[in-house]
Structure 1
Amino acid sequence: MYEKTFPNKRFKHTLEFLEKHITTNEVILDLGVPNPFSKIMEENGFKVKNTTGEDVDVNQLALQNEEYTVFTAFEIFEHLLNPFTVLQNVKSDKLFISIPMRLWFSPAYRSKTDMWDRHYHEFEDWQLDWLLEKTGWKIIDRQKFTNPVKKFGIRPLLRYFTPRYYMVYAEKVK
């Protein structure tokens, strides 16, 4: 069913994870400009607002001024220099984050042509957990999954067995 609808495994897992924890009555603030997955969320009945591309490392006004009940950041935190203050400024009580995990057999991603398309952080799961805990969040659910690629080689083979993505649902500690 999903294979024909979704461009990749990651979108399938992410949508199922969202649907498991929230209803379409929630208003989502999705960190980042409109993207293929924010469109998928809308197509599945979710109310989605996106930030406008501002540098949230230094400007978290959108997080403070928008009206939303759920915060999402799907494959965004690895690009931030300062995810700590971003998490401190989220005003909803629910958040979803997914990250590409640090892989022992592959260096951090760095585009040679786009200065924004770089991974400053590639977390291990415990590092993201600790960041959430230190900023006042309690993880309710978590999931890891692989992302095999259709290439030959040792690293592509390892991607079949090694989890690449880590996704969490957390609620603010009161």
Structure 2
Amino acid sequence: MYENTFPEKRYQKTLEFLKELVPPPARILDLGVKNPFSEIMTQNGYDVSNTSGEDLDDHFDAVKSEEYDLVTAFEIFEHLLAPYNILREIKAKKIIASVPLRLWFSPAYQSKTDKWDRHYHEFEDWQFDWLFEKSGWEIKKTLKWTNPVNKIGIRPVLRKFTPRYYAVYAEKI
């Protein structure tokens, strides 16, 4: 199951958080195209559908269905210019979302080769919470974790102690 190839710790933490809060089987709309983690959710008993690559800043049709128990958005909102808009449009009553946190010692991610693969936002936890609260969600549980790298230097040492990922579970008010 994707061992030694993908971000093992991030996927493990995310799956544990998901299973604790919304155990399988559940119908999930996973924002973003099919990806390794949507496969992991399927392998763990979830019925997962993905969006089809549409620009989620402008197109909300996928989230307007009430047939899903949960919407997931794992490392998606930092790529959107206005994540508030899609959060307001989601009809499901539950959401689990995660983002990379803003690190004071590292600039926001920007791919040099892919104009779409960049972070317009890297949130602090309070900003992500506020985004959910302003868009009509009540946060029920959160989780933060580090993402250490096996390199030498100041930044790698800081990554061992500084949380990099933040996940929230929220319910529609």
User: Which runs of 5 or more residues in structure 2 are unaligned?
Assistant: none
Q: Is the 8 A contact 2:63 2:92 kept in 1?
A: no
Number of equivalent positions: 172
The reply on whether 1:106 has 2:106 as its aligned counterpart is yes
Gaps of 5+ in 1: none
**Offset of 1:5 from its aligned partner?**
10
2:65·2:92 contact (CA, 8 Å) conserved in 1? no
Give the equivalent residue in structure 2 for 1:97: 97
- What amino acid does structure 1 have at the position aligned with 2:165? Y
In the alignment, structure 1 residue 81 sits paired with structure 2 residue 94: no
Q: CA RMSD in A?
A: 1.6
Structure 2 match to 1:136: 136
- Regions of 4+ moved over 4 Å: 2-7
Deviation per CA, 1:19-38, whole angstroms, max 9, x where unpaired?
A: 10112132000000000000
8 Å CA contact retained: 1:27, 1:46 = yes
3-state SS in 2 of match to 1:160: helix
Question: Tell me, what secondary structure is at the counterpart of 2:52?
Answer: coil
CA distance in 2, matches of 1:116, 1:4: 26
* TM-score relative to the length of structure 2: 0.95
Q: Could you say which residue in structure 2 is the equivalent of 1:127?
A: 127
Q: TM-score, normalised by structure 1?
A: 0.95
Deviations 1:103-132 (A, max 9, x none): 000000000100011000000000010010
Equivalences for residues 63-74 of structure 1 within 5 A: 63-65=63-65, 67-74=67-74
Matched letter for residue 130 of structure 2: W
* CA contact 1:74–1:98 (8 Å) conserved in 2: yes
Instruction: Tell me the residue number matched to 1:34.
Output: 34
Identity across matched positions, percent: 63
Amino acid at match of 2:23: T
